[in-house]
Structure 1
Amino acid sequence: MAQLQAVSLADQVYQRVKQDIFDFVLLPHDRFSENQIAERYEVSRTPVREALYRLEREGYLEVGLRRGWSVKPLDFERIDELYEVRISLECAALDRLCAAEDVRQVLEPLMSVWVVAPDERQAGMQVMAELDEQFHFELLRLAGNREAARIHQEVCERIRIVRRLDFYQAQRIEKTYEEHADILKALAARRRDEASRLLRAHIEHSRQEVHKISLSMLEAARRTYRAG
């Protein structure tokens, strides 16, 4: 029982630290100790250590002799590679969706969210980040390839922190609604090439914005999330 409880606590700490990274509570280069995390989450150091080493293996954290733990800096080369994988997976999903007999009916839940009047649109950085991620997840899920959907979810999790910064500006929120609606309309009409072109342009714009990210933007995002 004690061993099961320790595993459960380690999983909980793992999820909470990772969420703190996604929510800009912990920024790239931020340093902290095992004791600080243990005090924050009111647990012992054993599950904390296990959780932190797991996050290190996954590429979120790094640990140095006498320097303690820190959030890894953004690796833009690796992020670009993940975006390329994402584009390949999502374009393959569009091909499968266009071949579906009832494609319009399949897409209806997404259409009800994204093909809406301006006064029905959501706003706010955090809300839009979650809605946008869900849109792309749903494209993979609805396409019906479970392994592709699983890999896609892992890829998107690795770039979540930079994707969320896409919605720091109001005009990007408006463009996302327009671009998602255009993709869905092309899909519903089985215009596969057009849908693929629109999707590639949509994701490519996001990738280009990633390279404009600065530490000051991350700090501003942290203030926004705290205020929200």
Structure 2
Amino acid sequence: MVYEQLKRDVADFKLVPGDRFTENELSERLGVSRTPVRQALFRLQQEGYVEVLFRNGWRVLPFDFERFEQLYDLRMVLETTAVQRLCTDETKIDRALLDQIAAIWLVPVAERSTDIRQVAQWDEDFHCSLVAAAGNAEMTRVHRDVTERIRIIRRLDFTKQARIDATYEEHAKILRAIQRKRSDPAMMLLRAHIQTSQSEVRKITLHQVHLARAA
């Protein structure tokens, strides 16, 4: 899908903030007509990644860190609220979802995955499952929308093995606190986990943009 490819190009810094290009250039590179390229670009424009230039093609917008921080703030509220409910409300909890993520994250060190893409997907599933397991469909819907919008930078958190190891440790602590119905520690651990990830992603994004511009 053209949209997904172009979004990956932005995420992988093949299209660097400030780059200018035309629909024809992208059509030739991707081997498709201009119609799907234009449709994809308008969708990316709505999401704040590119802008159309009057009679002069398109431009990749700078990363809007303020917007991403606002999304992370919303994510924090949704996830900590969900964790509080998981620890205090027995009636609507989806135990099967919690068991599924426990089977992935509560494993011996020797059984941990080192596959960056897999861990990134599992991390997203972990946080989405925490919210979904709390049993509020509207909260789950909003959280999935936030997840989709921050995915482009969030996956950068798993480019180093140390961050993968830390994610396993932090997820395990959060899950154990939930299993023990310890609401305050669970929320504190989750809040610290999200804040650390947010900080790492910001640093990596700035570094990657610098490298891409210097190339």
Show the counterpart of 1:87: 76
Deviation at 1:142, TM superposition (A): 1.6
Q: What is the RMSD of the two structures over their aligned residues, measured on CA atoms?
A: 2.3
Larger mean CA deviation between 33-42 and 169-178 belongs to 33-42
Matched, 1:152 2:174: no
Structure 1 segments of 4+ aligned residues over 4 angstroms from their partners: 101-106, 218-221
Deviation at 1:180, TM superposition (A): 0.2
Out of 179, 189, 192, which is 2:180 matched to?
189
SS of the residue corresponding to residue 63 of structure 2 reads coil
Show the counterpart of 2:90: 100
Deviation at 1:137, TM superposition (A): 1.2
Show the counterpart of 1:213: 204
Deviation at 1:64, TM superposition (A): 1.6
Query: 5 Å matches for 1:155-174?
Result: 155-174=146-165
> Does the C-alpha gap of structure 1 residues 194 and 22 become closer, same or farther in structure 2, counting only changes over 3 Å?
same
Deviation at 1:120, TM superposition (A): 0.4
Out of 23, 27, 39, which is 1:34 matched to?
23
Show the counterpart of 1:45: 34
Query: 5 Å matches for 1:7-22?
Result: 12-22=1-11
Show the counterpart of 2:61: 72
> Does the C-alpha gap of structure 1 residues 197 and 103 become closer, same or farther in structure 2, counting only changes over 3 Å?
farther
SS of the residue corresponding to residue 204 of structure 2 reads coil
Q: Distance in 2 between matches of 1:204 and 1:171?
A: 16
> Does the C-alpha gap of structure 1 residues 172 and 65 become closer, same or farther in structure 2, counting only changes over 3 Å?
same
Larger mean CA deviation between 141-150 and 84-93 belongs to 141-150
Larger mean CA deviation between 132-141 and 157-166 belongs to 157-166
Percent of pairs with identical residues: 50
List gaps (5 residues or longer) in structure 1: 1-11, 222-228
Q: Distance in 2 between matches of 1:144 and 1:110?
A: 16
Show the counterpart of 2:52: 63
Larger mean CA deviation between 188-197 and 52-61 belongs to 52-61
TM-score by length of 2: 0.86
Which whole-Å deviations, capped at 9, do the CAs of 1:20-39 have from their partners, x for residues lacking one? 33454434333332112222
Which whole-Å deviations, capped at 9, do the CAs of 1:16-63 have from their partners, x for residues lacking one? 323433454434333332112222333321232122112202212112
Q: Distance in 1 between matches of 2:42 and 2:94?
A: 44
Deviation at 1:145, TM superposition (A): 1.8
Show the counterpart of 2:167: 176
Q: Distance in 1 between matches of 2:145 and 2:185?
A: 27
TM-score by length of 1: 0.81
Show the counterpart of 1:118: 109
Q: Distance in 1 between matches of 2:175 and 2:30?
A: 42
Which whole-Å deviations, capped at 9, do the CAs of 1:139-173 have from their partners, x for residues lacking one? 12222222212211221222222211211221111
Deviation at 1:219, TM superposition (A): 7.4
Larger mean CA deviation between 104-113 and 20-29 belongs to 20-29
List gaps (5 residues or longer) in structure 2: none
Which whole-Å deviations, capped at 9, do the CAs of 1:166-223 have from their partners, x for residues lacking one? 11221111110000000001101111111101000000111222332355425779xx
